[in-house]
Amino acid sequence: MNNKIKVCLVTAGVERLPEGTAEAISEFADFRAKRCETPQALLETFPDAEVLWMFGPNLCLKPEALDNMPNVKALMRSGSGLDALPVDWAKSHGVGVYNTPESIAECVAEHAVALLISYARQIPQYNARAKAGYEWGKVEGMDWHLSRRTLGLVGYGCIARLVEKMVSGFGMKVIHHDPFQPDSVDLDELLAASDFVSVHCPLTPDTKGLIDARRLSLMKSNAILVNTSRGPVVDEDALADALDAGMIGGAAIDVMCEEPPDVNSRLLQHPKCIVTPHVAAFSCDFEKNFFSRSVEKLWAICVSLSDS
């Protein structure tokens, strides 16, 4: 590829990348990497960047720097979700925005299913009781059955589709709501019909607070809500209120509005809520999948830019 596209990683230096990753990118791009902790550092370090690549929190890809980087043609965030990127700025400047949801899709789907099963089978609760010497064989709280029940998926991208595949062995009826899918059901209808609801939509202005007090009131009184997408998609106070009132049966979440949350957070402390600390994307295969998919997406971006 002649006149290689300038690809700049702003999250870390090359020492953070798995062995061979920088070399693989350098085969098709003019690749540089350095951690930039402020917009000014970005502007000073990579003034001529064409593709800006990041993962984790966005410390520097801010409009005040990007406005002064006329060569930027694409922003890429490894992982799922684009909420960390200045999407509105990119749209107004004709800059492409990319991510790699497929790199973590299996892990997140597995975690969502694990949370669902853990709550439905009360695994954490019975583990704690067994270790505390609770009366052996005494049954309390076994109020759910997965097989042949209805699972509602809010969002129907690659993660949600894997969840559907993974629960197929339970013989569950799976319905989904996604405005970009023609065969989706109305969200209110989904919430009313589902025994279990798993949230997989991205965080956008339209989805912030999507699962609010009104929508929680539509759910079955024994329904379980699972959220592995983004915390702000669910109104946390409304969810805590719904759990307090017995409006729904329980919740299992991997994401919260504030991370890390206050130790006194109502959901963190709620007996009807299982919480994991935003770890759904991780497994022993994380590094391999995360960076190999990132290299593939960067290659595709560079080819597209070179051809345009």
Annotated active-site positions, please?
230, 259, 278
- How many Cβ atoms are within 10 Å of 101's Cβ, its own excluded? 18
Instruction: With residue 123 as reference, give the H or E element that holds it.
Output: helix 123-131
3-state helix, strand, coil split of the chain in percent (to 5) is 40, 15, 45
Burial 41-75 (b: 16+ CB within 10 A, else e): bbbebbeebbbbbbbeebbbbbeebbeebeebbbb
**Cβ(262)–Cβ(255) under 8 Å?**
no
How many C-beta atoms surround the C-beta of residue 125 within 10 A?
17
Residue 264 CA neighbour count, 13 Å, CB half? 0
- What letter would DSSP give residue 85? S
> Is-contact 199 226, C-beta < 8 A?
yes
What's the one-letter identity of residue 112?
A
Burial of 262 (0-12, 13-18, 19+ CB in 10 A): exposed
Distance CA 250, CA 44 (A): 49
